[in-house]
């Protein structure tokens, strides 16, 4: 068997984490991206910079400050203790929270670009036909911006799968709980198990290639029909 039980557990946990994070980011990122695309407030620039910070900052910096926040003495740690919840440090839900922050720009920015490209004219037409805001979003925004949602979903999922620094600092290395594929590869290399590291790394490389190839094919098809992401 190419993959050990520990490898399979890491793969399953990674897919579970990426799926949950992508779903949450679409729920959270859509209203954020919509506001950023529509507002003329002076807050747009600083908030856009804050949401884009994970693109620039090393993962260890984000992981360090999240670790301080999640610690029992930190603000989030105090909050979880007050409500009688378990600490987020070295837990799966800690990984979910940290991954949402780290992958946020990969969901927000494609959605914001799609909303801005759509413009306000379609919504004005829908409003003139007495469509409610919910109807406008479901009947106008979603169909016209589906390429943006597709790109945001693919990038958010793929980026979460490839995380290492943040998940290692927040989740540690607990099998079945926080040991994702990237950490499992690191363990194999540390143990000089290069064959197992090759198998997992090759799987990750193939996954990344397929994801990017699918995204570029989709973008090229959209461009060929005169539609931009």
Exposure letters 70-93 (e unless 16+ CB within 10 A, then b): beeebebbeebeeeeeebbbbbbe
How far apart, in whole angstroms, are the C-alpha atoms of residue 126 and residue 36?
21
Residue % of the chain over a pLDDT of 90: 53
One-character DSSP codes across 171-227: H-S-TTTT--HHHHHHHHHHTT-HHHHHHHHHHHHHHHHHHHHHHHHHHHHHHHTT-
Q: Supply the mean pLDDT for the chain.
A: 88
Task: Give the tens place of pLDDT for each residue, 158-187.
Answer: 999 988 989 989 988 888 889 999 999 999
Q: Check residues 129 and 158 and name the one with the higher pLDDT.
A: 158
Determine the average pLDDT of the residues in 204-225.
79
For 114, residues 6+ apart whose C-beta sits below 8 A from its C-beta are 144, 145, 147, 148, 149, 151, 229
pLDDT score for 223: 54
pLDDT band at 189 (very low <50, low <70, confident <90, very high): very high
Residue 25: Cβ within 10 Å count: 28
Q: What is the pTM of this model?
A: 0.88
pLDDT score for 138: 83
pLDDT band at 222 (very low <50, low <70, confident <90, very high): low
Domains annotated on the chain, with CATH: 5-224 (1.10.3720.10)
Q: Are 156 and 162 in contact (CB under 8 A)?
A: no
């Amino acid at each position: 068997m190419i993959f050990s039980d520990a490898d399979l557990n890491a793969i399953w946990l990674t897919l579970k984490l990426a799926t949950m994070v992508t779903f949450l980011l679409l729920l959270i990122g859509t209203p954020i991206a919509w506001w950023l695309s529509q507002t003329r407030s002076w807050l747009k620039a600083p908030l856009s910079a804050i949401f884009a910070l994970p693109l620039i900052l090393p993962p260890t910096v984000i992981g360090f400050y999240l670790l301080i926040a999640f610690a029992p003495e930190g603000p989030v740690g105090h909050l979880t203790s007050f409500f009688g919840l378990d600490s987020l440090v070295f837990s799966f839900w800690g990984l979910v929270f940290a991954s949402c922050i780290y992958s946020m720009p990969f969901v927000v920015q494609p959605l914001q670009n799609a909303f801005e490209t759509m413009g306000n004219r379609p919504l004005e037409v829908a409003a003139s036909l007495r469509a409610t805001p919910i109807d406008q979003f479901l009947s106008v925004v979603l169909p016209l911006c589906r390429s943006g949602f597709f790109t945001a979903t693919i990038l958010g999922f793929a980026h979460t799968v490839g995380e290492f620094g943040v998940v290692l600092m927040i989740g540690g290395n607990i099998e079945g709980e926080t040991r994702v594929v990237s950490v499992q590869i690191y363990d194999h290399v540390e143990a000089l198990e290069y064959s197992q590291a090759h198998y997992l790394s090759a799987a990750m490389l193939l996954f990344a290639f397929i994801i990017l190839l699918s995204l570029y094919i989709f973008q090229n098809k959209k461009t060929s029909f005169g539609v931009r992401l």
